[in-house]
Structure 1
Amino acid sequence: MPFEEEGIGYGKAKDSGPVARLQQRIDQGQVQLAFEPDLGFLPALLKELDIPPESQMLVFSKSSFQRERISPQTPRALYFGDDAYIGFIPGSPMLELTSVDPQLGAVFYTLEQKPSVQPRFIRTDQCLECHASSKTMGVPGHVIRSFQTDETGLVNLASGISPINHRTPLAERWGGWYVTGTHGAQIHRGNLIGPEAFAEVEALVLRMLRENAQRRHGSLTLLRGLLLQLLGLTCPTEWEGQALLATSQDLTARA
């Protein structure tokens, strides 16, 4: 969709989402954002945009336009609410923000981390390189992805990229993210740093498939659920069964 052409004019159209409304309140003197020495405007923004501090997630993949500042040692903290998101990197001179605009969809901003009576959110199109692509159906939108990374957090594009949604198998989720919590016997890609760590997990997946194939129903049941998740199907078809059987035999042979 040509969202920059007349009729939509994404880049020139006035935004009216939560960040834009907060800017109006700042300009009118209704709100003053407190600036803290270590976190800058972050705590004040979390409060004004109604974003819970407990929503914090940590991403160590270099998947931001501030990629040179992100690493496993200095991950980017992401905070989210119903209609606004904030990205914070320790030591960065700016905050990253995005909000859901009722007319424009996803709109992206930066905010300079410098004390000011009237700080100003700056709209940016740098994020559209990833956030207005086939992954977002060609229009500005929000997306979560799973990457294989090296020891510095650099993304290995050759290893494949997994968009994360409700259909993505857990085993393909959260590459490049720090993950806590329990998940039973299932595995995920979170907390894996470097190709050797990813190779170990792949070997574990293949071993699990081999062990499952030796049971009564083999790995067909597991693979059926996986494929149905990926395709968004609820009922098996003849071609699906053939594909599952072929995939099961291939993975079992590799294991």
Structure 2
Amino acid sequence: MTRPVKPADGIVWITGASSGIGAALARRLARKGWTVAVSARGAGALEDLAKEHPGKIIPAPLDITDASAVAACVERLEAEHGPIACAVLNAGIYIPVKAEAPSYEDYARTFAVNLNGTAACVSALTGRMAERRKGQIAIVSSATGFGGMPTASAYGATKAALINMAECLAIELHRYGVHIQVVTPGFVETPAQDDNEFPKPFMVSAQTAARRIASGLKSRRFEITFPRRFTLVLKAIYALPRSWHIALVRRQTGWNKPPED
């Protein structure tokens, strides 16, 4: 049976930690006694974050789209700071794609970071954790992964894939004692949301998201989802026949109106 890990088991590694949910979660876990390794491309932001909690937050600048660099980063962190007991794979980008004027580059960049980058992290971690018969990985997806949303044909596709990835890993790694979770937040107040053109009900702050994730990491449940009054309703909508929920989402987001000239 899998179980949540504790600070005595090793360190936490958080990707996408230079701002938003990742930075807020790093601060929270450091206050709770964890040693937290933080990765993102922006070295300066990571250094500033580390200064807030000297000795408890370790900056580890990284571009997760470089699989070799990811593997080397994991190797270095474990050699210098002990086993990665828990990894929160949070790095991701949101690029809105308009179907009437799409950009292949936007699709490719979104897939490279959100899906391939997460796969690089998983590939560097799961073998080590399986060998130790202990570990925990939380993959940060999104409620957008439940079903279609306007301008999210790239982002939503990656987030749906991450939910499936987490489910597959949870099936396979349970017998090795590795605890797999998926995080499916609704709208979180981050700069990425500025590009969303549709209503964003029940939006929560990055600090609230960090609190919910930190609480969920201490549980045995597979999915950490919030705010539940939004995500559970959204799941119910997507449980309807597809033609029904597509029409409903189209209407609720305003995409049932003719385009403006």
TM-score scaled to structure 2, two decimals? 0.25
TM-score scaled to structure 1, two decimals? 0.25
Tell me: higher relative CO, structure 1 or 2? Use CA pairs within 8 A at least 6 residues apart: 2
Structure number with higher helix proportion: 2
Larger Rg: 1
